[in-house]
């Protein structure tokens, strides 16, 4: 079954999409933890970092390049921000479609945002 993020990417359920290309899609987190909280997601449904393969290298790189562009668009590039990828149980991953959180817009404190 398609993940909730695949449904947003496909336009089947609503998402506040801020960036999309042939490899990745980015949309606002539904429960933001900071003034800017965006999820950057490979269009291909990869459950966790543990399932990433060499074939996904371009998409993984694109996620970082998209983060850079979006941070500029959001006006948070100069002050800085945090990129987070949770993996599995101990990483507190809730949605099993790999994603990178782009969090910023305020000082975030050391390491973990909650």
- Which residues are catalytically annotated? 99
Q: Which among 102, 25, 108 has a CA at the least distance from the CA of 67?
A: 102
Q: How far apart are the C-alpha atoms of 23 and 12, rounded to whole Å? A: 18
Q: 3-class SS at 44?
A: coil
Output 41 or 76, the one with its CB closest to ligand AMP: 41
Q: Does 94 bind ligand AMP (CB under 6 A)?
A: yes
Q: Are 6 and 45 in contact (CB under 8 A)?
A: yes
Task: Give the residue, chosen from 17, 19, 23, 29, that forms a contact with ligand AMP under the rule CB under 6 A.
Answer: 29
Q: Does 10 bind ligand AMP (CB under 6 A)?
A: no
Q: Does 86 bind ligand AMP (CB under 6 A)?
A: yes
Which positions lie near ligand AMP, rule CB under 6 A?
4, 15, 27, 29-31, 39, 86, 92-95
């Amino acid at each position: 079954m398609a993940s909730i993020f695949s449904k947003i990417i496909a336009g089947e359920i609503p998402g506040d999409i801020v960036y999309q290309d042939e490899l990745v899609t980015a949309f606002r987190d539904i429960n933001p933890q900071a003034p800017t909280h965006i999820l950057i997601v490979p269009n291909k449904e990869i459950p966790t970092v543990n399932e990433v393969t060499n074939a996904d290298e371009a998409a993984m790189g694109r996620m970082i390049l998209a983060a850079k562009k979006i941070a500029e668009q959001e006006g948070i590039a100069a002050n800085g921000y945090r990129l987070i990828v949770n993996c599995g149980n101990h990483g507190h991953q809730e949605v099993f479609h790999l994603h990178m959180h782009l969090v910023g817009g305020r000082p975030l404190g050391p390491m973990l945002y909650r």
